[in-house]
Amino acid sequence: MIEGLSHITFVVSDLDRMTEILTKVLNAREVYSSGGETFSVSQEKFFLIGDIWVAIMKGDALPSRTYNHVAFKIAESDFDDCLKRVTALGLDVRPPRPRVDGEGRSIYFFDHDNHLFELHTGTLSERLQRYALGKEAAK
C-alpha cells in the first residue's frame, strides 16, 4: 500500500545550476552529492525541502515546456520574497493562470531544463471550498 511520497527526481543538464535554484529559491538543504561517483543512472545530489526528498541527476534537458509541474506550498506573507528570489536568479517567470478568488496565488517559473515549478499560497481544502461555491460566487 502507498505510504506517501518517497521523492521527486529532476534530470538536469547542470547539477550546480539546479543546486542554486533549489537552495536559493526553495531553501533546500543539500544532504548528499555523488561527486564523480555513480551509484545510480548518473551523477546525483539529494536535497531536503522541508521533509520532501528531492533528487537531481545529470542528464539531458526536457525537449519542451509543458504545464506539468511540481508545486511547493508557501505562506502568503512570503509571496513577495519568493518572487524576488526567483527573479534574482533570472529564471523565466510565467504569468499566473486565470483564477477565481479564494484559491491562492502562485508564482510559476521554469528552470534551465524546462521543468516548471509553482510556489503556491493556497491549500487543497481552500480550493475545494471555493470550487464548491461555483462560478456564480465569483460575480
Instruction: Quote the CA–CA distance of 122 and 105 in Å, as a whole number.
Output: 7
Mean pLDDT of all residues in 59-77: 94
Most distant CA pair in the chain, distance: 58
Q: What's the mean per-residue pLDDT of the chain?
A: 90
5 and 15, same domain (yes or no): yes
pLDDT for res 36: 81
The neighbour count for residue 123, using CB atoms within 10 Å, is 12
**Which of 16, 40, 60 is at the close of a domain?**
60
Neighbours of 80 (CB within 10 A): 10
Active-site option among 3, 20, 30, 44? 44
Question: What per-residue confidence (pLDDT) applies to 94?
Answer: 94
107 with 75, same domain: the answer is yes
Indicate whether 43 and 83 sit together in one domain: no
Is 105 buried (19+), middle (13-18) or exposed (0-12) by CB count in 10 A?
A: middle
Same domain, 48 and 113: no
Q: Which residue has the higher pLDDT, 21 or 136?
A: 21
Give the pLDDT band (50/70/90) at residue 138.
low
136 and 108 assigned to the same domain: yes
| Contacts of 46-51 spanning 24+ positions with Cβ under 8 A | 46/7, 47/19, 47/22, 47/23, 49/22
Write the pLDDT tens digit of every residue in 17-56.
Answer: 999 999 999 999 999 999 888 888 899 999 999 999 999 9
Kindly state whether residues 88 and 109 are assigned to the same domain: yes
Same domain, 88 and 54: no
pLDDT at 97: 80
CATH number for the domain spanning 17: value is 3.10.180.10
- For 1-139, where are the alpha helices, taking DSSP H only? 15-24, 79-88, 124-133
Are the C-beta atoms of residues 64 and 114 closer than 8 Å to each other? yes
Please confirm, yes or no, whether 44 is among the known catalytic residues.
Answer: yes
